[in-house]
Amino acid sequence: MVIDFSDRILLKETFTEMLGSWSKTLLKWMYGDDVKVVANLNEDDEEAVKGPTFIIRGRHRDVKSYADAIVSEKHYLDAYSQYGKEHMQTAKARERLDTAVRNFESTTGLTWPFKDEG
């Protein structure tokens, strides 16, 4: 899976749908037991990575804002699942998520693919 923020052309609705789909997949991998986070720090190292792999490309600030938002989304879902919607921990996680989403949207010009209905 490749998420590419480097192309600065006008992004259409289909890209937003793909971003949502990729983000859902990434969240599923975050919750999986067999997911390994691997960073190849040596470009010469050709060791194969087993399991799901993904690549996020683009300007540092775009990639960082996406990573912050997707991790905040996971933390919010964890708190919601563990404590319920009205708990203080969940409210704090929601505030951090809202901040990360605002940053992502202002940095990339894209709409965050997930919205809370309640």
Q: Where are the domains of the chain?
A: 2-108
For the chain, the 3-state helix, strand and coil shares in percent, each to the nearest 5, are 55, 5, 40
The whole-number pLDDT of residue 43 equals 46
| Strand partners for 2 | 55
pLDDT in the model for residue 95: 97
Radius of gyration from C-alpha coordinates of the chain:
16
Beta carbons of 14 and 66 less than 8 angstroms apart: no
> 3-state DSSP call for residue 64?
helix
The predicted-structure confidence for 100-114, as pLDDT tens digits, reads as follows 999 999 998 888 887
Whether residue 1 is predicted with pLDDT greater than 90 in this model: the reply is no
Of 69, 79, 90, 83, the closest CA to residue 27 belongs to 69
Rounded Cα distance, 75 and 95, in Å = 11
* Predicted pLDDT of residue 99: 97
What pLDDT band is residue 55 in, cutting at 50, 70 and 90?
confident
- Closest C-alpha to 3, from 95, 117, 104, 75: 104
